[in-house]
Each structure stands twice: as structure tokens, then as C-alpha cells.
Amino acid sequence: MSRPVALVTGASSGIGRAIALALSSTHHVLVGGRDADRIAETCALLESSAPFCVDLDDEAAVAAAAAGIERLDVLVHSAGLVAYGTLAESTTQEWQQVLATNVVAPATLTRALLPALRVARGLVIFINSGAGLTAHAGWGVYAASKFALTALADSLRAEERGAIRVTSLHPGRVATPMQVQLNELEGRTYRPERYLDPDSVARAVRLAVDLPPEASLDSLRIAPV
């Protein structure tokens, strides 16, 4: 492979697809997701790509998929679940599911790919959220998962300093299908002009990727104006 290799999870739609498109001009992109048909749709848009179809909550499947990757220049964690509601309304199952998908799955995939990332002196980018910096009423489950993701990124950066770089991106609300779902949960009318375009987040990813190897963008907050 003459191109550097990037793996983007959640790349079948929304922010993940925008990131895959932004990286495809320079990278061979492994398009991560669960739905093979939607992954194929994204792959068809890219200059150089391959599917990475795996359930990130399945540790054995993740290990098997990662085993075939010997070198990885960029790993972007964009897959995730959203939750909204008060603590009184939440359930243990909801807490377990959101934390598993938003925190445990990125940790599992990153651990499996550390050898490949070290070979490339690569970059790990966590697409976090403003909720990973500040929590508000009704956002306890989601914010807890994103605060934990911030901690994961910070600790990984300290552990792998000099071997790989680690970036946390904290976008505000983004105009994606997930945002439509959130507006429904909040009882609001969805108005995409209020939110960030997914391409704005993708441009921030490119900023981190395009830095020279001696520089690291550790954390960046991106907000709609």
C-alpha cells in the first residue's frame, strides 16, 4: 500500500462519512461500520478504500479484524450512541449499553491496533463532544461516557507519548441523523442551520492529520457560531 492507511469507525453516515471523504484524497481508508450495504455506499465515494465491517462491541470480532492490519497511520473513533433523559428516567441497561459502545469499544479497538499504530508512529483521534467537557441536565448517561472518553484519550496520550499521537475533538451539536434523533427526544423541531456541518468536524480531523510528526493537536473544542 503506497498510501498511508486510516481506519474510521462509524463511517457509514454522518460525521464518520464526512471524515472518510476528507481523508480519502491522501489515505487508503478502512470504512468501519456494522451495515455492509451502507459501508459499500461510503466506499463507492472514496478514491481508495476497503470495508471494515465489524461489531465493535464484540471483542473477539474486533481482535480478528485488527489482526490483519500490520500498519495503521490514523485511527478515528467516530462511532457512538446517544442518550437523553434524567437519572430517574435512565436504566441500568441504558448505562451499560452507552458506556460499552462509547468507551469500552474504542478502548478495545485501540488496544488491538496499538502494534500497528506504533509501527507507523500513528495518530488516534477520538470524536468526543462538548458533553465530554461539560454536563447538563438530562445528559448524565451520554456525558458520563464522553467524560470517560476524554480520560481514555488523556491517559493513552501519556502512556504512548513519543510512540503515537492522540487527539480529542469536542464538537458541539452537528447536523447529522443522530441530531434528528436528539431533537425528537428533546421535543424540539430539527433545524440543521443551527448546528455544525459534518464537514467542519472533518476539517478539524484533517488539521490534526496534516500536522508535522513533531507536533500534536491534543484537544480541540469546535462550536457552532
- pLDDT tens string 37-48: 999 999 999 999
Is residue 222 domain-resident? Answer: no
What is the average per-residue pLDDT within 184-191? Answer: 83
Grid cell of 159 as nine digits:
502512556
Is residue 220 domain-resident? Answer: no
Is 190 among the catalytic positions? no
Is residue 224 domain-resident? Answer: no
Render pLDDT for 3-30 as a digit per residue (tens, 0 to 9). 999 999 999 999 999 999 999 999 999 9
Asked if the model's pLDDT at residue 1 lies above 80, the reply is: no
Render pLDDT for 129-144 as a digit per residue (tens, 0 to 9). 999 999 999 999 999 9
| Residue of 84, 142, 190, 195 marked catalytic | 142
Is residue 96 domain-resident? Answer: yes
What pLDDT, on a 0 to 100 scale, did the predictor assign at position 64? 96
What pLDDT, on a 0 to 100 scale, did the predictor assign at position 131? 93
Among all chains, which residue has been given the C-alpha cell 500490520?
A: 70
CATH assignment of the domain containing 104:
3.40.50.720
Total tally of structural domains belonging to the chain = 1
What pLDDT, on a 0 to 100 scale, did the predictor assign at position 22? 97
- Find, among 164, 161, 90, the residue nearest to 123 by Cα: 164
Backbone angles phi, psi at 196, to 5 degrees: -65, 145
DSSP class of residue 2?
-
Half-sphere exposure of 213 (CA within 13 A, CB side): 8
Asked if the model's pLDDT at residue 177 lies above 90, the reply is: no
At residue 180 the predicted structure's pLDDT band, cuts being 50, 70 and 90, is confident
Chain Cα centroid distance, residue 168 = 9
What pLDDT, on a 0 to 100 scale, did the predictor assign at position 26? 98
Query: In terms of DSSP bridges, do strands 49-53 and 5-8 run parallel, antiparallel, or are they unpaired?
Result: unpaired
Is residue 102 domain-resident? Answer: yes
Domain that holds residue 137: 5-211
- Work out the mean pLDDT of the chain and round it to a whole number: 95
Is residue 216 domain-resident? Answer: no
Render pLDDT for 69-111 as a digit per residue (tens, 0 to 9). 999 999 999 999 999 999 999 999 999 999 999 999 999 999 9
Grid cell of 220 as nine digits:
480541540
Is residue 218 domain-resident? Answer: no
Is residue 152 domain-resident? Answer: yes
Q: Could you tell me if 30 and 190 are in contact, meaning their C-beta atoms sit under 8 angstroms apart?
A: no
pTM: 0.94
Q: Exposed, middle or buried: residue 170 (CB in 10 Å: 0-12, 13-18, 19+)? A: buried
